[in-house]
Amino acid sequence: MGMSSPEALLICEHCDTVYRRRTLARGDVARCARCEAELERHHALSVNAMLALILTAMIVFVQANMWPIVTLGLSGQQSSTTLWGMILAMWREQAQVVSVLVAATLFFFPLLKMLMLGWLLWFARAGRRAPGFVRLMVILHYLGPWTMSEVFVLGALVAIVKAHTYFDVMPDPGIYAYAALTLLITIFAGVDLRQLWDDVPEGTA
Amino acid sequence: MSALPRASELGLIACTVCGLVCRNVPGDARLDGDGVGDDMACPRCGTTLHRRKPDSYVRTWALLIAAFILYIPANVLPIMRTASLNDVDDNTIISGVVELWRAGSPNLAIIVFTASIVVPMLKFLALGTLLVSSQRGSGWARVQRAKLYRLVELIGYWSMLDVFVVALLTALVRFSVLSLVEPLPGVIFFGLTVVLTMLASMSFDPRLIWDGKDTDD
Q: Which helix (H) or strand (E) holds B14?
A: strand B12-14
A205/B contact by beta carbon, under 8 A: no
Alpha helices in chain B (DSSP H): 7-10, 56-76, 93-103, 106-113, 119-135, 142-155, 161-172, 185-203
Give the N- to C-terminal CA distance of chain A in Å, as an integer: 35
Predicted confidence (pLDDT) per residue in A112-155, tens digit: 999 999 999 999 999 999 999 999 999 999 998 999 999 999 99
pLDDT at A192: 83
Q: Residue A76: how many CB atoms within 10 A of its CB?
A: 6
Model pTM score: 0.92
B74-109: pLDDT as tens digits: 999 999 999 988 889 999 999 999 999 998 789 999
B168, B192, B195, B216, best to mutate vs chain A, most A CBs in 10 Å? B168
Q: Which of B38, B18, B75, B50 is nearest to B193 (CA)?
A: B75
3-state secondary structure A115-184: HHHHHHHHHHHCCCCCCCHHHHHHHHHHHHHHCCHHHHHHHHHHHHHHHHCCCEEEECHHHHHHHHHHHH
Task: Select the residue from B164, B177, B193 to test the A interface by mutation, using most A Cβ atoms within 10 A.
Answer: B164
User: Helices (DSSP H) in B116-210: which residue ranges?
Assistant: 119-135, 142-155, 161-172, 185-203
Q: What is the pLDDT of residue B217?
A: 44
Residue type, B152: V
Mean pLDDT of chain A: 91
- Distance (Å, whole) CA A110 – CA A143: 9
Nearest Cα of chain A lies from the Cα of B143 at a distance, in angstroms, of 5
**Would you call B16 and A13 a contact, using CB atoms and an 8 Å cutoff?**
yes
Q: Which of A13, A16, A72 sits opposite B8 (nearest CB)?
A: A16
Contacts of B171 in chain A (CB under 8 A): 81, 85-86, 88-90
DSSP symbol at A21: -
Give the total residue count for chain A.
205
